[in-house]
Every structure is written in structure tokens, then in C-alpha cells.
Amino acid sequence: MNISKAEVSSPANGSLTRQRRTYSIGELARMFEVTPRTIRFYEQEGLLAPERRGQTRIYHEKDRVRLKLTLRGKRLGFSLAEIREVIEMYDAMPDGNARQLKRLLEILADKRSNMERQLEDIRLMQRELDDVEMRAREVLERLDQS
């Protein structure tokens, strides 16, 4: 129950609305239920780029959001490489050339169709589960009766 020193690590904060909260790798790891190792690995793969205070990594809101998006992407079956590609293009957007931007739109369309398919898969799978569950309950009832 010790108060994190990270809380104090911000210099004279004038704004009230501005959240200048930072996180240690351990905090972030607990928040998202991953290991620090995972977070370092994502950095190594170019998905995160936290600030450094000496040796130790310091994560800001931006990093937290990225991690959240990364994990969400993973749950949807995207590879880290795919996720990185999108993140990189997103970051380079303002001064990205037309070719890059069009490539980005392509990728997005691709992800979109991917997700449409997943939606359909989920619908179908839910029906299967309904079916299996029904049968299972039937069998269970018969077992209870006898």
C-alpha cells in the first residue's frame, strides 16, 4: 500500500484538466494483466517507445493507449507486425505522402473485411454453441430423470 512515486514525477502542473500521470512498467503490466516482459517485447517490436529516465522506462497516456489498442488487436487475431504497421503509418500520417496514405487506406479496408468476416463467424459459432448446449441439456435431463 505504498503511494507510487510516479505521481510526483510531474513538474509544476498548471493545467487542471491535463492528466500528466505516468506509469511504471509494473503498473502498466498489472493494469492490463500482462507481464513486464511482454511490454518490453512490444517495445522491441516497435509498438511502444516510452520515455527513459536514466535506465528505467516511463510510460505516458499515449503509451497506455497504444498498449490497449495493441492488446485489443491481438484479441482480434492480428499479428504484432500488422499492428505495428498501422501504428507506424498513423504516426507518420501528417507528413506521409499520398502513396503511403493510400496504402494505409488499403490496410484499413483489409482489416475491415477481416472483421466483417469475424462478425459472421461469431454469429455462426454462437448458433453452434446454442445447438450444442441444447443437446447437452437434453441429455443431462434424461440422466437426472433416470
Given a contact cutoff of 8 angstroms between Cβ atoms, the answer to whether 25 and 57 are in contact is: yes
Q: Is 31 in the site for a copy of itself (CB under 8 A)?
A: no
Q: What is the C-alpha separation between 105 and 39, in angstroms, rounded?
A: 28
Stretch that binds a copy of itself, among 3-11, 17-25, 30-38, 70-78 (CB under 8 A): 70-78
Closest approach of Cβ 121 to a copy of itself, in Å? 5
Stretch that binds a copy of itself, among 8-16, 32-40, 42-50, 132-140 (CB under 8 A): 132-140
Q: In whole angstroms, what is the distance from residue 28 CA to residue 64 CA?
A: 7
| Binding piece for a copy of itself, criterion CB under 8 A, among 6-14, 26-34, 39-47, 95-103 | 95-103
52 sits in which H/E element: strand 51-53
- CA distances, 135 to each of 121, 132, 143 (Å): 21, 5, 12
Output the nine-digit C-alpha cell for 135.
Answer: 443437446
Q: Which residue among 18, 20, 37, 123 contacts DNA (CB under 7 A)?
A: 37
One of 7, 90, 91, 127 touching a copy of itself (CB under 8 A):
90
Using CB under 7 A, which of 19, 79, 118, 126 touches DNA? 79
